[in-house]
Amino acid sequence: MKALAPFALVLLPLLGMCNVPDPQPAPVDTLPVSGLPPVSTVLRVVSPDEGRQRPAPTTSTVAVAPPPVPALPAPQWAEWSNWRVTAEGVPYYKGRPACTYAQAAVIAGQFANRGASVSTQQWAMYVASREGGCNYQAVNINSRTKDASYCAYQLNAHKGGPLSPQGALGLLGWTPASVTSSLENCSAAAAALWAICGKGPWTKPYGCRRPTS
């Protein structure tokens, strides 16, 4: 051992002169702290208007005037008692509710379909006001006579009346329920009765007479 000591003393300085690089560590794939694979980031340009709250679309209602009625305006004077005319030209019975222009248009149309003249259409508006206040749901039951009358034209459904099952309207399929369901039905039934009996069911002497106009 003592014989090798001089060689060791010579080798140690030589070894110190050589820099042996440390071996490079092998690359290791590591995951983010979250444990999920890395996610790529995409940048998007945002326009100045994006993200602003857009106002809700607005709507507007435009009033549409009813179509003109050839039978209106009615004359200020007529042969019928308590005849009055509204500012819109609709005839009515004084002291009773008048029909509106739109209601008068419905009545005029139904009677015109049956061939009624302009003066008869005006009379029909007046009768609807006089008999039932232009209310198609009007019902009048007489506890003494048992008469039952329906709609603005007070169509009688009592035995023998036009709205009874054996009456002129009953035979055509009209019923108290149907004539009080709408003004169209009420005035259509009245126009059908007028086409058979004229103005007789509503004027004295009451009866059934073929219309002349």
What tens digit of pLDDT does each residue of 4-61 get?
444 444 444 444 544 545 555 555 454 454 454 555 555 555 555 555 666 666 666 6
pLDDT score of 209 more than 80? yes
**pLDDT score for 188:** 98
- CA-CA distance, 187 to 102, in Å (whole number)? 13
**pLDDT score for 24:** 56
Question: Maximum CA pair distance of the chain?
Answer: 165
- CA-CA distance, 110 to 190, in Å (whole number)? 9
**pTM given for the model:** 0.70
pLDDT score of 120 more than 60? yes
pLDDT score of 112 more than 70? yes
Percent over 70 (pLDDT), the chain = 69
Least confident range from 70-79, 112-121, 139-148, 196-205: namely: 139-148
The pLDDT tens digits of the residues spanning 45-87 come to 555 555 566 666 666 665 566 678 999 999 999 999 999 999 9
pLDDT score of 150 more than 90? yes
**pLDDT score for 62:** 59
Average pLDDT over residues 128-135: 98
For domain 83-202, the question of CATH label 1.10.287.3510 is answered with: no
The pLDDT tens digits of the residues spanning 169-192 come to 999 999 999 999 999 999 999 999
Two tokens, residue 184:
């169209």
Residue 128: partners with Cβ closer than 8 Å, 6 or more residues away: 99, 103, 107, 134, 152, 153, 186, 187, 190
